[in-house]
């Protein structure tokens, strides 16, 4: 049986994880719109199928922002 303290901790984390997922879900689109390229091209760069220093830089920047945001959640 779960104690009330454990139950409340779990319910507190669920919305935060969903918020983080929503932020991460639009990652390629945000990077693509900033650089004026298609999101599928960003995806190919991220998967190593194509190379682009500017896209990789933006991906790292965005992931860093998401990571910092997740520490606050």
Q: Give the model confidence (pLDDT) of 10-64 as tens digits.
A: 545 555 666 666 767 789 999 999 999 999 999 999 999 999 999 999 999 998 9
57-58-63 Cα angle (round to 5): 100
Whether residue 31 lies inside any domain: the answer is: yes
Query: What is residue 17's predicted lDDT score, i.e. its pLDDT?
Result: 66
Query: What is residue 25's predicted lDDT score, i.e. its pLDDT?
Result: 76
53-56-59 Cα angle (round to 5): 150
Whether residue 6 lies inside any domain: the answer is: no
Whether residue 11 lies inside any domain: the answer is: no
Distance between CA 39 and CA 32 in Å, rounded? 5
Query: What is residue 60's predicted lDDT score, i.e. its pLDDT?
Result: 95
Whether residue 37 lies inside any domain: the answer is: yes
Residue 66's domain comprises: 27-73
Local structure of 20: helix, strand or coil: helix
Whether residue 39 lies inside any domain: the answer is: yes
Whether residue 61 lies inside any domain: the answer is: yes
42: tokens are: 């960003």
The structural domain count of the chain equals: 1
Query: What is residue 53's predicted lDDT score, i.e. its pLDDT?
Result: 97
């Amino acid at each position: 049986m779960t104690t009330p303290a454990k139950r409340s901790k779990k319910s507190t984390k669920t919305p935060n994880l969903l918020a983080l997922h929503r932020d991460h879900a639009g990652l390629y689109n945000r990077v693509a719109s900033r650089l004026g390229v298609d999101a599928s091209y960003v995806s190919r760069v991220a998967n190593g199928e194509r190379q682009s220093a500017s896209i990789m830089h933006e991906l790292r920047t965005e992931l860093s922002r998401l990571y910092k945001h997740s520490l606050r959640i």
